[in-house]
Amino acid sequence: MSSNNLLPSPKTVAILGCPFSGGQPKPGVDKGPIHLVQAGLINQVEELGWHVVFDGHHQFEGVPPPSNGIQGNGTSDVVVDTALDASIARLRSPLLVAQVCKSVASAVQAHAEMGRLPVTLGGDHSLAMGTISGTLRAYDQACVIWIDAHADINTIYSTDTGNIHGMPLSFLLKLNPPAPSPDSVLAKFDWVSHLPAERLVYIGLRDVDKGEKEILKKHSIKAFSMHDVDRYGIGKVVEMALDHVNPQRDRPIHLSFDVDALDPSVAPSTGTPVRGGLTFREGHYICEAIHETGLLVALDLMEVNPALADAESVRQTVTVGCSLVRSALGETLL
Ligand SMILES: NC(=[NH2+])NCCC[C@H](N)C(=O)O
Ligand SMILES: [Mn+2]
Ligand SMILES: [Mn+2]
């Protein structure tokens, strides 16, 4: 399956719960997967005609669970190069994130190689380092469509927050400096697969850090912001996005959906909400249109945080999360 001129068309979905919050400081995002499953997601996907393998809520064997919000940066037992020290020391829990994402990559790869379509429920968006690496190991020509308010492409130098959920794409695009030694913190990310910049496209951006804007420009990374959605409409934007990453419509597609791409009035329970987001229909349209390509091979639904709102807002966010997944897996309006 790794020489991928054969077009995949999985009939089985593997649902992976990834209760992980170590890529950002707010507790609760690790409860996203259990809420989505308890809302009936597995049944809903089966009703669309898929065979569903539920891979459980991963416990990340051997990984110390993140303590409630208060974590060291996890670098104390590792030798770091002095020139990079200052940058790496600002990262939050890099060893934990690297280890968890590595195990997620193996799980996603294994499902994909069995011909299944992995649906990963987050958890924070640092997990996409793992899911996309897993997809690229199984389908080396895969492209990525990243739906988000944020660009999540800060490097170890540009990050203001040190939160690795704002950085996964810098590791996937190999924008960080090479590890100075096998013992360095950066070496713990060496397993991450390489995604060429021209095989990434964004939709929904509206809160992009200054350093990230420079990175997008420098590497000519294609991004459709909310301004573009306003100007062209979502139908045209999805078509242009596909034309960029998938001009011949022959590449397997990994769709990574951060629920904060939706407007906070639609998906309030998330850690970094930004006003001016996608409407309910725009979010679903993206999923429906990608399903229609017949090229979807992996899906992430990330950043649902049931701890961050009142019960009704949580219910609303979890419900919309389930319906985005259904749309990506073929639910239609008629
Ligand atoms: N996956 C997310 N919600 N990311 C938010 C990232 C916010 C900000 N750009 C940062 O680097 O911290
Ligand atoms: Mn986001
Ligand atoms: Mn994100």
Whether residue 312 lies in the annotated active site = no
Question: Would you place residue 81 in the very low, low, confident or very high pLDDT band (cuts 50, 70, 90)?
Answer: low
Closest CA to 181 of 88, 314, 61, 112: 88
Q: Is 160 a catalytic residue?
A: no
Residue with the bigger pLDDT between 162 and 68: it is: 162
Tell me what pLDDT residue 86 has: 79
Query: What type of residue sits at position 41?
Result: L
- 272 CB less than 6 Å from ligand 1? yes
13: DSSP letter:
E
Whether 284 has a binding-site annotation, put simply, is no
| pLDDT over 80 (residue 73) | no
| pLDDT value of residue 127 | 98
Ligand nearest to the CA of 256: 3
Q: In the predicted model, what is the mean pLDDT of residues 315-329?
A: 98
CA of 152 to the centre of ligand 1 (A): 6
Alpha carbons 110 and 118: distance in angstroms, whole number: 9
pLDDT band per the 50, 70, 90 thresholds, residue 2: very low
Query: What's the pLDDT band for 6 if we cut at 50, 70, 90?
Result: low
Q: What is the pLDDT of residue 68?
A: 37
Cβ pair 140, 35 in contact under 8 A: no
Pocket of ligand 1 contains residue 31 by CB under 6 Å: no
Active site annotation includes 150: yes
Is pLDDT larger for residue 64 or for residue 48? 48
- Ranges assigned E (strand) in 219-294: 222-225, 253-258
Tokens of 26: 């707010």
Across 122-140, average pLDDT? 98
Residue 258 labeled ligand binder: yes
CA angle 82–86–87, rounded 5-degree value: 110
Q: Rounded mean pLDDT of 78-92? A: 73
Q: Is 125 annotated as a binding residue?
A: yes
* pLDDT tier at 33, thresholds 50, 70, 90: very high
Give dist(CA 198, CA 245) in Å, integer: 6
Give 230: exposed, middle or buried? Use CB within 10 Å, 0-12, 13-18, 19+.
Answer: exposed
Ligand 1, atom 9: closest residue by C-alpha: 166
pLDDT of residue 259: 98
| 161 pocket-lining for ligand 1 (C-beta < 6 Å) | yes
Active-site entry in 58, 165, 254, 291: 165
3-class DSSP state for residue 192? Answer: coil
How many Å apart are CA 297 and CA 135, to the nearest integer?
8
Which residue has its alpha carbon closest to ligand 1 atom 10? 166
Residue nearest ligand 1's atom 5 by CA:
166
Average pLDDT over residues 21-30: 96
Q: Please enumerate, as own/partner, the contacts of 93-98 that have beta carbons within 8 Å and a separation of 24 or more.
A: 93/22, 93/23, 93/66, 93/164, 94/164, 94/185, 94/188, 94/189, 95/185, 95/188, 96/22, 96/63, 96/64, 96/66, 96/71, 97/22, 97/23, 97/126, 97/129, 97/164, 98/188, 98/189
Structure tokens at 191: 């397993």
Cα separation, 287 vs 136, whole angstroms: 20
